[in-house]
Amino acid sequence: MRSGTAEIIITATGSNTRFGHIAHKLTFKRPETTFEQDVKHFGFLLTRITFVLVILVFMINVFVDRTTVESLLFAVALAVGIAPELLPAIIAVTLSKGARRMSDKGVIVRHLNAIENLGAMDVLCADKTGTLTEDKIRLEQAVNSNGKEHYGVLMMACINARFETGMENPLDAALMERTETADLEFANIQKVDEIPYDFIRKRLTIAIDDGTGIQLISKGAFRQILEICTMVDTGEEIVDLTSMQKEHLRRKFKSWGNKGYRVLGVADRNFSRDQEDCPTQFTKDDEHSFTFRGFLLFSDAPKNDIQLTLQNLRLLGSEIKILTGDNRYVTRHLAAYLGLDHKTILTGEELSKMRDEALFQRVKETVVFAEMDPNQKERVIRALRRNDKVVGYLGDGINDVNAMREADISLSVNSAVDVAKAAADMVLLEKDLSVLNKGIEEGRKTFSNTMKYILTTSSANFGNMTSMAMASAFLGFLPLLPKQILFNNFLSDLPLLAITTDHMDEETMQRPQKWDVRFIRNFMIVFGLISTLFDLLTFAILLFIFEADPHQFRTGWFLVSLLTEIGIIFVIRTRKTVFAGRPSRWLVYTSVATITATVILIYLPIYDITGFVPLGGILFFSMVLISLVYLWVMEWFKKRFYRVLDG
């Protein structure tokens, strides 16, 4: 807690302030994530197919002299049959179950769609401090310009940390801890003014009165401290800061950074009491003519298990990129320790001179982004997304909000500021990347089970509805009544409710899972047409071999349609052979129960309700045999299809 009095000049209020701008941005519609865009494209695909099918079927049936009402009902029933109407429920159930499992792992899901995005994430952008490191910053040394420990540099730094009133940060906390152990006294020091820290200047200056005069003490990033200095304390004397002296200081800074230290600079400027130009209030315009006093060397060790965590992320097909405000040298040292590509580093200074087109190309091969301000982080995220990457961003400060909103999935931690947690899709109860491995697995499991439903319904329904549409043009009766089409659709969807519990192939876990509308379309056409050919073969067998009347035809076709739609679930649910992939027990139970209920239903004397009639033994087993042959053919084509797809 801090208390005191102050005089302020209010230049802006409410939405016109910096905080107001950030808060106002949160009210804007968030850019569509990759998941939302792909779902929309899939919806457009189904809409086009359904619209064309309904119009064609309606026109054909009117042309063959069926009544308008009968034709319309049949066309609408086909449209309902081809649509994956359980998709919203399947997605909601799988996402809810995933969110519950992730909460057990220490991840709170605020937006359910984020689970799908997490499974598709192939780039994770994270800050260095606290994410890749222990976030236990210690002050190792306070040294002068020659690298020797110096009490005066320590004292200045601690005074700066003691009297600054900005938001708490771990660097000042480390200095205050040293204050207690070094038994430093501040009783005779009075604070006069403060020039707050900002992300442009990257320094904070305190004005104090120690009884002899006014002293400005500035602490911050080395380059920004050096640029306000004209003198340097060599430890023996104060001399002009020449280009040779600057180069000497830069070598020191670079050397410590390469050893993994986070290095700050300390400088001061003194005014005597009788000095005429000694102000009583200070602004950033007074930050000039300082004397460079020395360096502060902080350490923040990498987390013990971070290398294993990153290795697991890479095995899951997700790469990590470091976006940090820290200097390039300490960031390069950490990246080298973690086994990341550190040869090419993009700094904020370089990025500010780049056009978006150049950055679009540069982010492809760059892993480490150092000395970044908040707006530059947002530009990096946007450039990565333009490269068709699904991007996650882990942030915990106000300055991270813009980048978090730009990312496909935004992550924060429980200790973050409220506005960062409000902008996050997921909140990690601990600042630990290892919990994301489980989250990615949950996301991919959710996506995989959702895709099983889509591929099953799109291919089987497309094939069945297309064959019925074709048959309706040549048969003297409808292949299925509208109520039978809807009933078939209802029964075939029952086992798919259990798809949310299904297991997934290990191979599916090894790469990001993304929606691919072109793949879905090709899958639907290939397997749908194969299904259509078998349907037409079934029609021919029913008509020309068994000479079935309309009631027997509809009953036999209904049985084949249901058996194939349920059986194809087990073919499509895995890239392996149908017997190698292990389905969940609930999927098996619901499938067996639905098939059993359907067979019983056919033989119940309720023709007036269902329109079905009992089938003779030979006809019944012929329909079952056709269904088994269909599943065997589909299994054969599945292997060839994925073999061609994988190249």
| Active centre residues (catalytic) | 127
Nearest-angstrom CA–CA distance, 144 and 296? 9
> Which residues face 270 on adjacent strands?
215
| Residue 611 DSSP class | -
Nearest-angstrom CA–CA distance, 591 and 563? 9
Contact 473, 542 (CB under 8 A): no
Structure tokens at 52: 């064309």
Contact 161, 197 (CB under 8 A): no
Alpha-carbon separation of residue 459 from 44, 356, 526, 561, 569 (angstroms):
17, 41, 8, 12, 11
Contact 94, 501 (CB under 8 A): no
State which H helix or E strand residue 486 sits in.
helix 482-493
Nearest to 452 by CA among 84, 121, 122, 114: 84
Helix ranges (H only) for 322-373 are 328-338, 348-352, 356-365
Alpha-carbon separation of residue 171 from 156, 265, 395, 435 (angstroms):
14, 12, 18, 27
Strands 290-299 and 262-272, sheet pairing: antiparallel
CA of residue 619 relative to chain centroid, distance: 53
Contact 59, 473 (CB under 8 A): no
Contact 228, 316 (CB under 8 A): no
> What is the C-alpha radius of gyration for the chain, rounded to an integer number of angstroms?
34
Give one DSSP letter per residue of 513-580, joined into a string. ----HHHHHHHHHHHHHHHHHHHHHHHHIIIIIS---HHHHHHHHHHHHHHHHHHHHHHHT-SS-TTT
Give one DSSP letter per residue of 386-438, joined into a string. HTT--EEEE--SGGGHHHHHHSSEEEEETTS-HHHHHH-SEEESSS-THHHHH
Nearest-angstrom CA–CA distance, 492 and 416? 47
Nearest-angstrom CA–CA distance, 290 and 286? 10
